[in-house]
Amino acid sequence: MKKIGILSLLVIILLPSCQKAEKIKYEGKRGGTLIVSVTNEPTTLNPIYPSLSGLSPVTEKLFTPLHEYRADGKITTGLAQSWVYSEDMRSITYTIRKDAKWHDGTPVTAEDIVFTVKQIKDPANKSPLSQQIRYVKDVKAIGVREVRFTFDKVYADELLNSNIRPIPKHKIEKETGNLQISDFSFNPVGDGPYKLKEWRQGDWVELVANPDYFRGRPPLDRIVFYFPSSVEELMDEIKLGVIDIAYDLPPAKYDTIKGYRTIVSPGEAYTYMGWNLNRFKDKKLREALSMAIDRRGIITKLLKGHAENLNGPITPEHWAYNPKIKGIKYDKEKAKELIEQLGYSKRRRGKFYSNLKVLILVEEGNPIRSKVADSIALDLRSIGVNATVEELRGSRLISRLLNHDFDAYILGWNVEKAFNPLSIWGSRGDYNFVGYKNKRVDKLIREALLSLDREKAKKAWYEFQEIIADDLPYTFLYAPKTITLVKKDINGIKEGDKRPIISFLDELSFKKIPTTTVELASIGKHYEEMKRGTPEETTETPLPPQTQASTEEILQAAATTTIEEGEKIGADTSELTTEATAEEEKVVKKKGPVIPPTLTYYPTKRDYPESARKLEVRGQVFIKLHITKTGVVDKAEIIKGLFPACDAAALLDARKCKFDPATQGGEPVEYDELTLPFRFPPEGW
């Protein structure tokens, strides 16, 4: 059994074991309003409630994390001016900056950090971040500005997992019940570079510069986040020159729009086609089918070149990516040769090989994925494989995957910095839909997750990728990039910056401060008027409503972050066990996590009560639903009201909602933990 001494670990720690504050000075002219379009409006501005797709960029500007990322992708100080690991690596002590203040002028203290962790861990608050800090055993204030996190085990991602955005104890400690629907969540007091001025729900959020921010006042006077209702509405505002930054657009030729430049940046996800290994057991067959897929054509034609080629389960920008993996070359003739060598043949005058069919499952409502699936099916049919595509609603697709009822499917996974693929690639992983089993891969994942030596972890991850690429349980298709349109008169975006633009908006400025101010109430109105003046019906591409989530967002959020059940770390804290023991192999098969229900009908075209309209009532009614095994709402309870007439209308509409039921292990189950927002004015009003 191999053991690593703690003294050597202190020298070769994966992340900085001791970090001191870096001075980051804002540059650029002061002034101006930056208008940024984002596709998802948050339901809350409380940082302990990120959505399934991640924390809203609005919330990111209101609250500062303990540490952040520099332009080169390395970790730097944030709210914490320094941190240090204990000698046994089981705790991290953070020191909070002296000049860090909440927006009301109250100093940020260690007690705020302790309070925030307790709120995240409190089951009554139902914070999604509870999984992130599941290995935090204790958190204590050891001074006004010093706070110590203690962990249940020694592992590589302690620093990443303890990186929270605190909330102010003095503003929230008197709140009771679920913090998600507290007043603070809609009108927060943060500690970030910007303060909330107004949230006009359904339209935009306006933030104003914080003059007392510990890094100084940011250059821009205001940042406005605009939430378009459709791609067409967004493009109309872009062409009018109203939008300064349009973030995360679907692939298209947006670079032809005058006055804007297109910035394409790496993403953290990859798209793949998974094979049912019970039906496609022969690796040579999977190789032949993969060889017939024109992956380069998909990238150039369907994604307009805004994606990278990928041959394994870690994305190119990740520190553990292995660039030496050779992928399957596109070769239709060779693919046909391999298929015939395996004994497949065509009937006389037959178009397809006998007994060789591939039904590709893809999520309904994702135009790009549907086109990719159709392209792959066409490629396979061109070599004689009877390939078809079936589009399914998210919950139906999840159910088919959990029950292994598929030939092949197209999906995507995120590869975050705190990378843990056991639920996907482990032999007993809940999301190992393809049925892949490899003891060497199980061992390599465990070694990499527990190793504090970056080079040894990288070596394990490299071999992990090589084995997966060789075994071909997936055909890796591409790693999509993020497409952002930026006005040419904006400063602060530098070549080679590895951060997404949306994360450093506070560092941007205008080359020349605009002399005119956009009326926020007018955003989106031009498109509405244009539609009313068009006699024929306009075909729109609606953006996903905030009540919906994609299949992988649901799965990614539900995926366990456990290193492995039965995992054992030596009782002697001066040594770290990295080899598996017999006890570790004894894993009890469970049903797996509950997959939440998927909304299939939501009454968006609702009445706006006359009394509420006259008073211009705006906001959200939150209703807790109980959903039966058949997907019917049989109980609905208001847990945060807005206005009597709106409350009554929302309650009526809540009972009209339809769902594909929650599932556990592929079987329908009752669900009573769903809270749904009903916004007023209603969408489309």
- Return the CATH number at 167: 3.40.190.10
Task: With beta carbons less than 8 A apart as the criterion, state whether 45 and 188 touch.
Answer: yes
pLDDT tens digit string along 631-667? Answer: 999 999 988 888 888 899 999 999 999 988 888 877 8
Kindly tell me if the per-residue pLDDT of 685 is higher than 70: no
pLDDT tens digit string along 564-618? Answer: 433 333 223 233 333 333 333 333 344 667 788 888 888 867 778 888 888 888 8
233 and 381 housed in the same domain: no
Q: 132 lies in a domain?
A: yes
Q: 561 lies in a domain?
A: no
Q: Which two tokens stand for residue 638?
A: 């208001």
Closest residue by Cα to residue 247 from 75, 56, 437, 382: 56
Q: Which two tokens stand for residue 123?
A: 């089951």
pLDDT tens digit string along 516-538? Answer: 788 888 888 787 777 766 655 55
CA 281, distance to chain mean position in Å, is 32
84 and 186 housed in the same domain: yes
Q: How crowded is the C-beta side of 306, counted as CA atoms within 13 Å?
A: 21
Q: 166 lies in a domain?
A: yes
Residue 23 binned pLDDT confidence (cut-offs 50, 70, 90)? low
250 and 273 housed in the same domain: no
281 and 375 housed in the same domain: yes
CATH number of the domain that residue 419 is part of: 3.10.105.10
Closest residue by Cα to residue 501 from 225, 231, 236, 246: 246
CA angle 269, 424, 400 (to 5 degrees): 95
Residue 166 binned pLDDT confidence (cut-offs 50, 70, 90)? very high
Question: Who contacts 253 (Cβ-Cβ below 8 Å, separation ≥6)?
Answer: 304
Question: Who contacts 235 (Cβ-Cβ below 8 Å, separation ≥6)?
Answer: none
% of the chain exceeding 90 in pLDDT: 53
Work out the mean pLDDT of the chain and round it to a whole number: 85
At residue 4, the pLDDT reads 34
Q: 547 lies in a domain?
A: no
For residue 623, what is the DSSP state?
E
Region of residue 496 (left: phi > 0; alpha: psi -120 to 50; beta: else): left
SS3 label, residue 345: coil
Residue 457 binned pLDDT confidence (cut-offs 50, 70, 90)? very high
Q: How many domains does the chain have?
A: 3
Question: Who contacts 313 (Cβ-Cβ below 8 Å, separation ≥6)?
Answer: 270, 413, 415, 421, 424, 425, 464, 465, 468, 474, 476
Q: 320 lies in a domain?
A: yes
521 and 397 housed in the same domain: no
Kindly tell me if the per-residue pLDDT of 146 is higher than 90: yes
Containing H/E element for 307? strand 307-308
- Strands 357-363, 386-392: pairing is parallel
pLDDT tens digit string along 337-353? Answer: 999 999 999 888 889 99
Domain boundary among 461, 481, 501: 481
Task: With beta carbons less than 8 A apart as the criterion, state whether 420 and 413 touch.
Answer: no
332 and 469 housed in the same domain: yes
Q: Which residue has the higher pLDDT, 403 or 196?
A: 196
* Euclidean distance between CA atoms 331 and 411, whole angstroms: 24
518 and 596 housed in the same domain: no
652 and 505 housed in the same domain: no
At residue 19, the pLDDT reads 57
Least confident of 108-117, 140-149, 663-672: 663-672
pLDDT tens digit string along 368-413? Answer: 999 999 999 999 999 999 999 999 987 788 889 988 999 999 999 9
Range of the domain at 390: 269-481
Residue 221 binned pLDDT confidence (cut-offs 50, 70, 90)? very high
Length of the chain: 685
- For 546-685, strand residue ranges (E) read 575-577, 594-595, 598-601, 619-627, 633-640, 658-660, 662-664, 667-669, 671-680
pLDDT tens digit string along 73-95? Answer: 889 999 999 999 999 999 999 99
Q: 300 lies in a domain?
A: yes
* Euclidean distance between CA atoms 525 and 532, whole angstroms: 11
pLDDT tens digit string along 168-177? Answer: 999 998 776 6
Closest residue by Cα to residue 318 from 458, 215, 429: 458
At residue 592, the pLDDT reads 66
340 and 242 housed in the same domain: no
DSSP secondary structure string, 88-132?
A: TSSEEEEEE-TT-B-TTSPBP-HHHHHHHHHHHH-GGG--GGGTT
Q: 564 lies in a domain?
A: no
243 and 332 housed in the same domain: no
* Euclidean distance between CA atoms 573 and 575, whole angstroms: 5
Kindly tell me if the per-residue pLDDT of 288 is higher than 80: yes
Kindly tell me if the per-residue pLDDT of 548 is higher than 60: no
Q: 554 lies in a domain?
A: no
CATH number of the domain that residue 671 is part of: 3.30.2420.10
Domain boundary among 465, 498, 532: 532
17 and 68 housed in the same domain: yes
Kindly tell me if the per-residue pLDDT of 9 is higher than 60: no
Closest residue by Cα to residue 225 from 209, 238, 243: 243
Task: With beta carbons less than 8 A apart as the criterion, state whether 37 and 260 touch.
Answer: no
50 and 137 housed in the same domain: yes
Kindly tell me if the per-residue pLDDT of 13 is higher than 50: no
* Euclidean distance between CA atoms 402 and 408, whole angstroms: 13
